[in-house]
Amino acid sequence: MKLIGGYTEEMRESIEMVEKTRDERMKKSFPPMSLEEREEVLNKYHPDYKPDKKRAVKVGPNKGDLAPHEVVDLLEAYPLIDPKEIDLKTIDYDVDLLIIGGGGAGTVAALWANENGVPAENILMATKLRHGDANSMMAQGGIQAADRPEDSPAIHYLDVMGGGHFANKPELVEALVKDAPFILKWHEELGVQYDRNPDGSYVERPGGGTSRFRLHSAKDYTGMEIMRVIRDEFRNREIPVLEFTPAVELLKDSEGNVAGAVLFNMETEQYYVVRAKATVLATGGFGRLHIQGFPTTNHYGATADGLVMAYRAGAKLRDLDTVQYHPTGAAYPEQIVGLLITEKVRGMGAQPVNKNGELFVFPMEPRDVEAASFIRECARGNCVETPTGMKGIWLDSPMIEEIEGEGAIKRNLDAMYRMYKRFGIDMTKDPILVFPTLHYQNGGVEIDAESRTSVNGLFAGGEVEGGVHGKNRLMGNSLLDYNVFGRRAGISAAKFASKRSKPTGLNLKHVDSYIKELEKAKVPKERRSPMLLPDYRGEKVLARMLDIF
């Protein structure tokens, strides 16, 4: 197949149309939708609004609530371990605080627990991949905080509620917007570098559904910059961490408090028993479940393990009926299909246009509305088709250079520029092709403003928890979420741990009773969870696999 600058001849013809309309489009904007118009496009085109793609959970605290089939399949599933085979008398790690998950939320929780009196050696972090292998590392666009005089936490509050379809838990939104400037200050003290204007003020940009410019970024490596600094600080404090050792089940004490977990060393395949006075769940979301077959922006380990464990322990979940599809996942070339194209590309002025070079939507609608509009445009037959049959919308990236001057993409979107260059495309000269991709778990384990779950002894922060974002998260609020609620979880867990003695009577009775419930609901026996990691091995290999070693 002949490629010119990375694109096929058919795609080149469409790019010509995009170029032809660019000057005219530069002068124009597209009106934002009213709430009614938003509802209409969501109802007709957003993947969440297809009733056959969800079902009601048959067991557990959220019995009767709807969630995507892929999520329900994990909730309605038998544990990986047989509780009878686990020796809970021998404790391998005896700590004040167990943190499950080594991404942003877990790291922040550890730092703040340490700050609030829990000595490093009394903390244990257990994580499935390496410390820092998490969506936190991959967030590109930025973090929201209402710190400009033109802005206020109250305006931020209103944006968050509107973006979340007013289904958010108000006390959590209040905590999110009021803590936000403080989080930036904390980052500054640790040495995180945010983009600055020449006068020393922050560069702040708009995000979809934000009514103020409030997005702080570090080029398009914002998540990486924050994550590597907080991880570095964590390492300086010598907080113990077990990598490639996920939790597979929570433990309870004789009073029914969560009191640690059973961990599984994926490399040696042995288990460890952790007894902890308090446990923080920071396992991230479900983005690797490929809900409705969508490609994903998420890291390898985003398999909803924390949801499953917490649910078996009796924690209430919420807002799991909605899934965030990021409007701009890469749709071409094939090697990077589904990977995130940061919203900052639109924030800097690139318009989404169809195959005829027409702008068809306000570029900064909330994510669910923007994504649904892209799908609608394809349904109208106005999409570009790739050689492998993917559909896509052009994101007219060369506009950025026209608006902000030559070199603006390399200065501000280096990760994007680099990724496309690796696959032969120059996004400063040619538009890039995008389509919605699975991005974020809007809901999760319900918490209160102190990051407490409904189960005593269990705290949660970051993507695993729910209530902050309602039915749809806005850009720049996930980095903020994990910092705000990771911190609150660390502080609350430290307080909780300081007030109690060592848990006694470690047990897995909650798992036994969950198994009974599953049996009663006639859940197929072969269904097991947590998933731990997805399996991408080739079909031919799987068909000839022997389990003999």
Partner 1 sequence: MSEEKMITVYIMGKAYQVPFGLTIMKAMEYAGYRFIRGSGCRAGFCGACATVYRKKGEYKFRTALACQTTAEDGMYLAQLPFVPANRKEYNINELDPEKNVLSEYYPEINRCVSCNTCTKACPQELDVMYYIQAAIRGDYRQVSELSFDCIQCGLCTARCPAEITHYHVAQLARRIYGKYQLKVPEHLEKRLKEIEEGKFDEEIERLKNMSIDELKSAYVQRDIEKIPRGEVSDE
Q: Which residues from 150-209 bind partner 1, rule CB under 8 A?
A: 150, 152-155, 157-159, 161-162, 166, 170-171, 174, 177-178, 181-182, 184-185, 188-193, 196-198, 200-203, 206
Residue 29 or 513 having the CB closest to partner 1: 29
Q: Which are the catalytic amino acids?
A: 326, 346
Choose one: 79-87, 335-343, 449-457, 480-488; the region binding partner 1 (CB under 8 A). 335-343
For partner 1, the binding residue among 101, 333, 352, 467 (CB under 8 A) is 333
For partner 1, the binding residue among 235, 509, 516, 525 (CB under 8 A) is 235
Q: CB under 8 Å to 55, separation ≥6 — which residues?
A: 66, 67, 69, 72
Residue 245 or 453 having the CB closest to partner 1: 245
Tokens matching residue 284: 């991230």
Choose one: 213-221, 275-283, 375-383, 457-465; the region binding partner 1 (CB under 8 A). 213-221
CB-based burial, 280-307: b 16+ in 10 Å, e otherwise: bbbbbbbbbbebbebbbbbbebbbbbbb
Give dist(CA 427, CA 418) in Å, integer.
Answer: 9
Give dist(CA 118, CA 142) in Å, integer.
Answer: 31
Residue 333 or 352 having the CB closest to partner 1: 333
Which position has the token pair 């557990």? Answer: 60
Q: In the complex, what is the shortest distance from the CB of residue 376 to partner 1, in angstroms, rounded to a whole number? A: 22
Residue 48 or 159 having the CB closest to partner 1: 159
For partner 1, the binding residue among 65, 147, 368, 430 (CB under 8 A) is 147
Asked if 285 contacts 441 with a C-beta cutoff of 8 angstroms, the reply is: yes
Subset of 413-472 contacting partner 1 (CB under 8 A): 414-415, 418-419, 422-423
Asked if 360 contacts 354 with a C-beta cutoff of 8 angstroms, the reply is: yes
Secondary structure of residue 131 in the 3-state scheme: coil
- Environment class of residue 419 by beta-carbon count within 10 Å: exposed (0-12), middle (13-18) or buried (19+)? buried
Residue 281 or 340 having the CB closest to partner 1: 340
Give dist(CA 100, CA 110) in Å, integer.
Answer: 10
In terms of residues, how long is the chain?
Answer: 549
For partner 1, the binding residue among 30, 49, 93, 244 (CB under 8 A) is 244
Instruction: Report in angstroms the alpha-carbon separations of 436 from 117, 184, 392, 421.
Output: 44, 30, 9, 22
Asked if 310 contacts 258 with a C-beta cutoff of 8 angstroms, the reply is: no
Q: In the complex, what is the shortest distance from the CB of residue 505 to partner 1, in angstroms, rounded to a whole number? A: 34
Report residue 132: phi and psi, to 5°: 100, -10
Q: In the complex, what is the shortest distance from the CB of residue 359 to partner 1, in angstroms, rounded to a whole number? A: 13
SS3 track for 208-266: CCCCCCCEECCCCCHHHHHHHHHHHHHHHCCCCEECCCCEEEEEECCCCCEEEEEEECC
Residue 58 or 130 having the CB closest to partner 1: 130
Give dist(CA 507, CA 252) in Å, integer.
Answer: 5
Asked if 43 contacts 369 with a C-beta cutoff of 8 angstroms, the reply is: no
Q: Which of 6, 5, 16, 4 is nearest to 333 (CA)?
A: 6
Q: In the complex, what is the shortest distance from the CB of residue 29 to partner 1, in angstroms, rounded to a whole number? A: 7
Q: In the complex, what is the shortest distance from the CB of residue 351 to partner 1, in angstroms, rounded to a whole number? A: 11
Subset of 264-323 contacting partner 1 (CB under 8 A): 266-267, 297, 299-300
Q: How many residues bind partner 1 (CB under 8 A)?
A: 102
Choose one: 274-282, 318-326, 491-499, 535-543; the region binding partner 1 (CB under 8 A). 535-543
Residue 211 or 498 having the CB closest to partner 1: 211
Q: In the complex, what is the shortest distance from the CB of residue 298 to partner 1, in angstroms, rounded to a whole number? A: 8
Q: In the complex, what is the shortest distance from the CB of residue 86 to partner 1, in angstroms, rounded to a whole number? A: 22
For partner 1, the binding residue among 284, 349, 431, 486 (CB under 8 A) is 349
What letter would DSSP give residue 88? Answer: -
Q: In the complex, what is the shortest distance from the CB of residue 539 to partner 1, in angstroms, rounded to a whole number? A: 9
What are the contacts of 477-481 at 24+ separation with CB within 8 A?
477/144, 477/160, 477/176, 478/135, 478/139, 478/440, 479/104, 479/136, 479/139, 479/142, 479/143, 479/222, 479/223, 479/226, 480/143, 480/144, 480/145, 480/176, 480/180, 480/183, 481/176
Write the binding mask 51 to 80 for partner 1: x where contact by CB under 8 A, - elsewhere: ------------------------------
For partner 1, the binding residue among 408, 426, 450, 456 (CB under 8 A) is 408
Q: In the complex, what is the shortest distance from the CB of residue 151 to partner 1, in angstroms, rounded to a whole number? A: 8
Q: In the complex, what is the shortest distance from the CB of residue 63 to partner 1, in angstroms, rounded to a whole number? A: 26
538 belongs to the binding site for partner 1 (CB under 8 A)? yes
> Where does 95-221 have alpha helices with state H?
104-115, 135-138, 153-163, 170-190
For partner 1, the binding residue among 129, 256, 382, 448 (CB under 8 A) is 129
Choose one: 374-382, 403-411, 461-469, 506-514; the region binding partner 1 (CB under 8 A). 403-411
Subset of 372-401 contacting partner 1 (CB under 8 A): 387-388
Give dist(CA 540, CA 469) in Å, integer.
Answer: 42
Give dist(CA 392, CA 434) in Å, integer.
Answer: 5
Which position has the token pair 């919420």? Answer: 318
Write the binding mask 490 to 529 for partner 1: x where contact by CB under 8 A, - elsewhere: ----------------------------------------
